[in-house]
Amino acid sequence: VQWTAEEKAAITSVWAQVDAEANGQETLARVLIVFPWTQRYFSSFGDLSSAAAISGNAKVAAHGKKVLSALAGAVHHLDSIKHTLAKLSELHAETLHVDPQNFNLLGNCLVIVLARKLGAAFTPEVHAAWEKFLAVSCAALSKHYH
């Protein structure tokens, strides 16, 4: 994948403002609330019975942070995202059996979290760079499925 200097700057400068803990929690909570069928993968996480329960669930928060920390690896290796996420692709495909469509749902929720956080600074150009970054990351995570 080819990145322009502007795209790279948009991705890394937004990432510098991301709080993996708070924004990871909000992103994963949104996935579980907005797309409730994704809860089936997290049966070990305890109470996911309502939006309030999901938003207050400590395991959701801890896991959201883990997911964003993994994405940080991709942000820091924009020219080798496939390689950077290869092990995680294998884990989600072979061990966790997560339907890869769900990666896109998480990406959509992250875009909404970033847009809310950045407000006017989340310009169409920044949004476009993030959609591209997430498409490449989701494709890398889906690599091991075929």
**Positions in the binding site for ligand HEM (CB under 6 A):** 38, 41-42, 44, 63, 66-67, 70-71, 88, 91-92, 96, 98, 102-103, 106, 137, 141
Give burial (CB, 10 Å; 0-12/13-18/19+) of 60.
buried
CB 122 within 8 A of CB 115: yes
| Nearer to ligand HEM (CB atom), residue 41 or residue 122 | 41
| Nearer to ligand HEM (CB atom), residue 6 or residue 37 | 37
* Smallest separation, CB 41 to ligand HEM (Å): 4
CA-closest candidate to residue 110, choices 19, 30, 56, 38: 30
* Smallest separation, CB 96 to ligand HEM (Å): 5
* Smallest separation, CB 120 to ligand HEM (Å): 26
* Smallest separation, CB 82 to ligand HEM (Å): 13
Give burial (CB, 10 Å; 0-12/13-18/19+) of 104.
middle
Provide CB contacts within 8 A for 138, sequence distance 6+. Answer: 100, 103, 104, 107
| Nearer to ligand HEM (CB atom), residue 6 or residue 83 | 83
| Nearer to ligand HEM (CB atom), residue 71 or residue 113 | 71
- Rounded distance between C-alpha atoms, residue 73 and residue 89, angstroms: 14
